[in-house]
Amino acid sequence: MLLHNKESERIIFKNITENDFEIWMEFASDPEAVKYFPPVANPSEMVRNWLDRCKMRYEKYGFGMYSLTDKNTGEYVGQCGILVQEIEGENYLEVGYHLLTKHRKKGYATEAATFCRDYAFKNNMLDLPLIGAAGKKGVISIIHPENLNSQAVAKRNGMTKERTVPWKDVPHCIFTITQKEWEFVSR
């Protein structure tokens, strides 16, 4: 798939597989990790749905979320990827990221998100036919208004808050970076 076996400075991106079930259970069972997710009554069911959705995205789009492994330690640190997200009836490309709590505040999220953002722009992914007219103006990240850590990652990724929209029945902030802004920050 698109980012499988790609590497950034410290991270290896791998397709998410059934082998990720147990490690992702650690994420789903951690109240701090899922603080901004819809309520998680059954972590096992959440992980099963997540893995099924990852598989569907690979099959439908050829890309999605990827496991992140530290190249030096071999430790699983989280997930990041490029997603197709529908907002208010329009398809957008999103850079999404989730880290295990013990690996936060180490720069992994920013490194992985920046890698995905750059990949999307360098490979003209906004030109994909499935991306709507509004979605062609830039790459986004969808972030809960209270998730200040993820907002900080988006800002370090060159994004600015564009608006707040209802997403999955909860208001979320849409952070965006346009092609022109990306060209400026990636010089």
Backbone angles phi, psi at 148, to 5 degrees: -65, -30
- For residue range 16-74, what is the model confidence (pLDDT) as tens digits? 999 999 999 999 999 999 999 888 789 999 999 999 999 999 999 999 999 999 999 99
Residue/partner pairs of 38-43 with CB below 8 Å, 24 or more apart: 38/168, 38/170
- The pLDDT of residue 175 is above 90: yes
Nearest to residue 90, comparing CAs of 128, 144, 132? 132
Q: Hey, what are 51's tokens?
A: 């893995």
- The pLDDT of residue 169 is above 90: no
Distance CA 8, CA 107 (A): 12
Q: Hey, what are 30's tokens?
A: 């951690």
Distance CA 100, CA 106 (A): 11
- For residue range 79-113, what is the model confidence (pLDDT) as tens digits? 999 999 999 999 999 999 999 999 999 999 999 99
- The pLDDT of residue 1 is above 70: no
pTM of the full predicted structure?
A: 0.96
For 53, residues 6+ apart whose C-beta sits below 8 A from its C-beta are 64
The domains found in the chain, sorted by start residue, are 11-185 (3.40.630.30)
Distance CA 95, CA 112 (A): 9
